[in-house]
Amino acid sequence: MHSRSMEPEDVTFQLLEEITDGFSKERKLGEGAFGVVYRGLTKNGEDVAVKKLRDNAFALDHMQFQNELDNLMKLNHQNIVRLYGYCYQIEQTSMELPDGVKILAEQPHGALCFEFLHNGSLQNHLSDEFSGLDWNTRYKIIKGTCEGLKHIHEELAEPLCHLDIKPDNILLDNNMEPKLADFGLSKIFCDKELTWTAQSSLGTIGYQPPEYIERREISTKFDIFSLGVVMIRIVSGPNGYEKCAYMPSKDFIDQVRKWPFSSITSNNFQSNTVTFTFEWWHPSLIV
């Protein structure tokens, strides 16, 4: 169905049904903000992930589906999930009205087909500070996530803001290399320094910056704040994160200085991101 050297393909809904066994419950991987994700198997034996927009919510979520597709078509980076194919199709179906009259109705179908990430989401791998991922793996995930974010913020002709960075939207391949996923809420920023006011709900509680919560202000700093929360969770584990969130500023600074971040500052972007992230997340913090 695809080649890594080719652009994403326009595929049929029938093909996606076939490779997911009719979108069977057994192949269901999870649910996102506006769709259900299934594991598919192509004719050449390769696993793929298929995100199917819910049929009964298509009118409401079509713009979000189109937004994700448009933004994914522009992205090509090792730390961003790769789009293989997409489908937007209208099926004519027969419906019977309460009075017994049969009519033809249009049933829209929308789906996106992605590379399959065998290690699932980062959320599945977070654990307390005494078990789970070793430091080298945690650092690899942090660095790769920063690189993916750098790509959409700084390396595109039109900067893109993800607006929903969280462990559920960071997927891991066989080598635990992270890839940003779920661009349904993402927005283009003609100027990355631009700030604007959101008209709809964005992001996930716990990962939203204070200026958004208090004034609904949006900028690329939204992603940096979310990244900071993710980094703290990666380094400290969920139990450690709760402690960090409520401890005094001085205690938090002392805690951060104990973390093995020395290698992460070798790259200028990483250094700026790490420093800015923690300053943004916790008042008066300087790493």
Model pLDDT, residue 39: 96
Please give the Cα distance from 115 to 99 (Å, whole number).
46
Domains, in order of start, for the chain: 9-115 (3.30.200.20), 122-281 (1.10.510.10)
Cβ–Cβ under 8 Å, residues 117 and 179: yes
Q: What is the mean pLDDT of the chain?
A: 79
Furthest C-alpha separation in the chain: 73
Model pLDDT, residue 109: 82
Residue range 176-229, pLDDT digits in tens: 999 999 887 787 765 555 565 666 678 888 899 898 888 888 888 899 999 988
Q: Is the pLDDT of residue 115 over 80?
A: yes
Q: How far is CA 25 from CA 21, 30, 33, 51, in A?
A: 9, 10, 18, 13
Q: How far is CA 181 from CA 51, 75, 190, 239, 281, in A?
A: 11, 11, 22, 25, 23
DSSP β-bridge partners for residue 113:
50, 85
Cβ–Cβ under 8 Å, residues 111 and 86: yes
Please give the Cα distance from 135 to 241 (Å, whole number).
16
Please give the Cα distance from 129 to 138 (Å, whole number).
11
Q: Residue 264: which pLDDT band, with cuts at 50, 70 and 90?
A: very low
Burial 87-124 (b: 16+ CB within 10 A, else e): bbeeeeeeeeeeeeeeeeeeeebbbbbbbbbeeebbbe
Lowest average pLDDT, out of 20-29, 130-139, 180-189, 270-279, goes to 270-279
Cα–Cα–Cα angle for 64, 65, 68, rounded to 5 degrees: 85
Query: Could you please report the per-residue DSSP string of the chain?
Result: ---TTSPPEE--HHHHHHHTTTT-GGGEEEE-SSEEEEEEE-TTS-EEEEEEE-GGGHHHHHHHHHHHHHHHTT---TTBPPEEEEEEEEEEEEEE-TTS-EEEEEEEEEEEEEE--TT-BGGGG---TTSSS-HHHHHHHHHHHHHHHHHHHHSSSS-EE-S--SGGGEEE-TT--EEE---TT-EE-SSTT--EE-SS--S-TTSS-HHHHHH-EESTHHHHHHHHHHHHHHHHHHHHHHHHHHS-HHHHHHHHHHS--GGGGGSHHHHHHHHHHHHHHSTT---
Lowest average pLDDT, out of 40-49, 120-129, 139-148, 155-164, goes to 120-129
Q: Is the pLDDT of residue 50 over 70?
A: yes
Model pLDDT, residue 117: 95
Amino acid identity, position 103: I
Q: Annotated active-site positions, please?
A: 164
Does this model's pTM top 0.85? My answer is no
Q: Is the pLDDT of residue 47 over 60?
A: yes
Amino acid identity, position 108: P
Q: Is the pLDDT of residue 147 over 50?
A: yes
